[in-house]
Structure 1
Amino acid sequence: MALLHTHLDHLVITAPNLPAGIAHAEETLGVALQPGGTHARMGTHNALLKLNESCYLEVIAINPELPSPNCARWFELDGLGRYGQPRLRHWVARTNNIQSAQALQKGWFGAIESMSRSHLNWLISIPPDGSLPLSGVCPTLIQWQSEPHPASMLSDVGCSLIRLEGYHPKAEKLQEVLDKINFEGSFQVHPIDSSERPYLVAHLQTPKGICVLDSR
């Protein structure tokens, strides 16, 4: 059996609608996003920004032209509401064996679901209620079943991820889980008091300098 490996795959910005999410990302980063596509099973659509050959930024929102799914939408989009603000909300970690990674910490990542968009196919972990693991600080797991990686098909507009930071009262436990799944990448987790709200901070290099996306 191949050794389990996990890497940072993409960042997730959620928004009440896709135009608002795109505008937020483009105003913050100073670059244009590219169209993504629709996720018929989840009733969502997205726009994308390349960060390197195997990492990207995703803006995702409910697609009002698609029927509502018969399950909870991913990334807590059902609870966002039309007045929710676009913001960095989550991150996704790519693994070469999603079943093994999920089994190492049962109850954290959710069920493994098969998804597709256009010619892309993948497996992804989704809690049944659509919630985010550890309030979004613990990653969702993904295993791509198609090639090439979607980031490699995006235009390079001069953006890259410097580092992603997570703040959570269970930082030590999260680090243990990341070590279990052999995570490698520019993610740092920091402890905060149990009374504080967990959050993420992404530092990105852009054509206009270093920009920050914050989930607070």
Structure 2
Amino acid sequence: MDDLSTIPANLDHLIITVPELEAGVAEFERLTGVRAVAGGSHPGRGTANYLVGLAPTGWEAGAHTYLEILGPDAQQKPPADGILPLDAHLAQGLTLQTWAIHPHAFLAKVAGANTEGIDFGEVRDMSRETADGTLLEWRLTSRSPLPSTGTQPFLIDWGESTHPAEASLPSVELLEFTIESPDAEDTRRVLDVLGAGDAQVVEGKEYRLHARLRGPGGVLEF
């Protein structure tokens, strides 16, 4: 039975990184039967993305949740230091790299994280154009390298922009999402402060994200 309790209510999106974007999108389609659609380019950052809707079974209609496939943008020069956003330069094949949450009080959660000494990096304003030319603007917390190897989510606030999940996206089901941590108690404390205290955390030897996705062509597990 699929355990929906493992999927955090504030989940905004999951990020899969790939070393080559077109090849990664093709591999995702081969494994799930779903073809991601072009999202857009991140000017000056060296990356672009493709998007797939996430449909956690049992969630209410209209939930704003999606999957981002992120990789090097062939139309941009790579950064001089070789470091891509969200440590995408480290990807080997399809890599479940990190995740984002959209707490209702973004600035309050940032302030709370500061008070608790949680290293989330800095708050950044970002933007990109969609495939149809619509400008999206958002702010997020950003740190490189990723905190806790990507298992600590970054916070995102879409402001007045249309959420990417509101577009007509092909979708896969999100059946399961869990976090493996060598210090599960502290990980739960951090997640609670950030606004994802309902995420499932399990003890493990290393920090890792686990997810199970199902499309018409098969199940993809990380």
TM range (shorter): 0.7 to 0.9
Instruction: Give the match for residue 58 of structure 2.
Output: none
Instruction: Give the match for residue 3 of structure 1.
Output: none
Instruction: Give the match for residue 132 of structure 1.
Output: 146
Asked if 1:115 corresponds to 2:126, the answer is yes
1:12-52, Cα deviation, whole Å (9 max, x unpaired): 11111101221222122121111110000312100010114
Q: 2:167 aligns with which of 153, 161, 165?
A: 153
Instruction: Give the match for residue 110 of structure 2.
Output: 102
CA drift of 1:207 comes to 2.2
Asked if 1:76 corresponds to 2:92, the answer is no
d(CA) in 1 for partners of 2:80, 2:107: 24
Q: TM-score, normalised by structure 2?
A: 0.80
Asked if 1:182 corresponds to 2:159, the answer is no
CA drift of 1:79 comes to 4.1
- Residues 133, 140 of structure 1: 8 Å contact kept: no
Moved more, 96-105 or 35-44: 96-105
Q: 2:40 aligns with which of 37, 46, 49?
A: 37
d(CA) in 2 for partners of 1:85, 1:59: 11
| Larger RCO (CA under 8 A, 6+ residues apart) | 2
Asked if 1:201 corresponds to 2:210, the answer is yes
Q: 2:54 aligns with which of 47, 51, 61?
A: 51
Moved more, 176-185 or 86-95: 176-185
- Residues 138, 157 of structure 2: 8 Å contact kept: yes
Instruction: Give the match for residue 29 of structure 2.
Output: 26
- Residues 40, 48 of structure 2: 8 Å contact kept: yes
Asked if 1:88 corresponds to 2:96, the answer is yes
CA drift of 1:77 comes to 2.3
Q: TM-score, normalised by structure 1?
A: 0.82
Aligned CA RMSD, in angstroms, stands at 2.3
CA drift of 1:7 comes to 0.7
Number of positions where the alignment pairs a residue of Structure 1 with one of Structure 2: 199
Q: Secondary structure at the match of 2:102?
A: strand
Q: Secondary structure at the match of 1:117?
A: strand
Asked if 1:8 corresponds to 2:11, the answer is yes
Flag structure 1 segments of 5+ consecutive residues without an equivalent: 1-5
d(CA) in 2 for partners of 1:148, 1:64: 26
Percentage of identical aligned residues:
30
Q: 1:180 to 1:138 in 2, by over 3 A?
A: same
Moved more, 7-16 or 148-157: 148-157
Flag structure 2 segments of 5+ consecutive residues without an equivalent: 1-8, 56-61, 130-134
CA drift of 1:69 comes to 4.5
CA drift of 1:180 comes to 2.1
